[in-house]
Amino acid sequence: MIKEKLAIERISTAEKYRLAKRCLQSFRRHKNQRDDYLHLEDVSIEFLKEYDHYCEKAKNLSVTTRGIYLRNLRTIYNIGIKKKYVSSENYPFDKDGFSIATSSKVNKALSLEELKILWHTQPSTTQQEIAKDYWFFSYYSYGLNTKDLCELTHSSVKDNEFHYVRAKTRSTKKEITHKKVPLNDPLRQIIERRKATDSKYLFGRIGESDSAQERHNKIKRTNSFIVKHFRTFALGAGIRQELASKLGTYHARHSFATIAIKSGKSIALVSEILHDGNLAMTANYLKSFSSEEYQNLSDDMVL
């Protein structure tokens, strides 16, 4: 699976499988068993329970990370069934078998007041200025992720908008959907400040001659750069430490969705922008609303 993902340049997915493999090997060594061999028939409900417990207690892995590793193992098991390497008779992942835990959705949205403070606060270093621009470019672009931001080219920008195909869905959708984002004043300002005139790519974070691995590494470093310096900037801007220390690029996407819905925009419109019309996925953002807001809604409904 790792080789297959690398061959089609899905570097991030390949890395997840590689980490899942290493964790399984670590578990095998912990059990004083061969770490280069595991038969699919040995992956039973009991095996999965013990492995999950090891990941949680010995490796201190989060529910999210454990879920990724276990779902990767489940995928391998399903492939094994299709190739007739293992029977489906004792499938350990069915509804009566082992259940992969999922983490509850965490509120990752900033309030409108916090966003205004951050937008109107002057950063104290050049690194913070760049991180702020990239973070808000994502926010004003409906939650554009770092990979898509880095892969924007000068030709992506046409007239009063820019176009892109979301990287996350390029290999998972039968029909490729082209996204478009109208250029408002903040987006124009950021492009003018950060555009790289000597590169094919709008912001020059990656290069034309980069291999898939090099491009992946540069995008990953860009994301780390944004997170590191935006957190420092937010703390200096007066954002409470508990929130500032956890801010990431995903907060820009979550904040866009939550602010849009709270301001009265159609959830169907937001869903079309974020999830190609998948209302169930977009509905998760509704969990960001406070009890007070639900109470106000109920009060407003009284005739």
DSSP letters for 46-67: HHHHHHHHHHHHTS---HHHHH
Residue 105: beta bridge partners? none
Phi, psi (deg, nearest 5) at residue 262: -65, -30
Q: pLDDT per residue over 55-104, tens digit each?
A: 999 999 999 999 999 999 999 999 999 999 999 999 999 888 999 988 76
What is the structure's pLDDT at 134?
98
Spell 22-47 as b/e; 16+ CB within 10 A means b: ebbbebbeeeeeeeeebebeebebeb
pLDDT averaged over every residue in the chain: 89
Residues 96, 198 contacting (CB under 8 angstroms): no
Share of the chain above pLDDT 70, in %: 85
pLDDT band at 284 (very low <50, low <70, confident <90, very high): low
C-alpha separations of 75 from 20, 23, 82, 86, 87 in Å: 12, 16, 11, 13, 14
Evaluate if residue 276 carries a pLDDT over 70. no
**Separation of alpha carbons 47 and 264, rounded Å:** 49
Q: pTM (2 decimals)?
A: 0.78
Evaluate if residue 282 carries a pLDDT over 80. no
- Edge-to-edge strands, sheet with 157-158: 157-158, 161-165, 178-182
Q: pLDDT per residue over 175-217, tens digit each?
A: 567 788 999 999 999 999 999 999 999 999 999 999 999 999 9
What is the structure's pLDDT at 272?
76
**Separation of alpha carbons 100 and 41, rounded Å:** 19
Phi, psi (deg, nearest 5) at residue 180: -135, 140
Averaged pLDDT for residues 111-132: 96
What is the structure's pLDDT at 268?
77
Evaluate if residue 107 carries a pLDDT over 90. no
Evaluate if residue 105 carries a pLDDT over 80. no
CATH (one of 1.10.3720.10, 1.10.150.20, 3.40.50.300, 1.10.443.10) for 112-300: 1.10.443.10
Greater model confidence, 266 or 99? 99
Evaluate if residue 299 carries a pLDDT over 90. no
Evaluate if residue 46 carries a pLDDT over 90. yes
Averaged pLDDT for residues 122-128: 98
**Separation of alpha carbons 244 and 222, rounded Å:** 19
pLDDT band at 3 (very low <50, low <70, confident <90, very high): very high
What is the structure's pLDDT at 270?
77
> Where does the chain hold its CATH 1.10.443.10 domain(s)?
112-300
Greater model confidence, 280 or 209? 209
Give the three-state DSSP class for 153: strand
Crossing angle between the packed helical segments 126-140 and 112-120, to the nearest 10 degrees = 140
Amino acid, res. 287: K
Lowest mean pLDDT among 98-102, 107-111, 163-167, 169-173: 169-173
Averaged pLDDT for residues 280-296: 60
What is the structure's pLDDT at 273?
72
Greater model confidence, 256 or 28? 28
Evaluate if residue 253 carries a pLDDT over 80. yes
Evaluate if residue 170 carries a pLDDT over 80. no
What is the structure's pLDDT at 292?
61
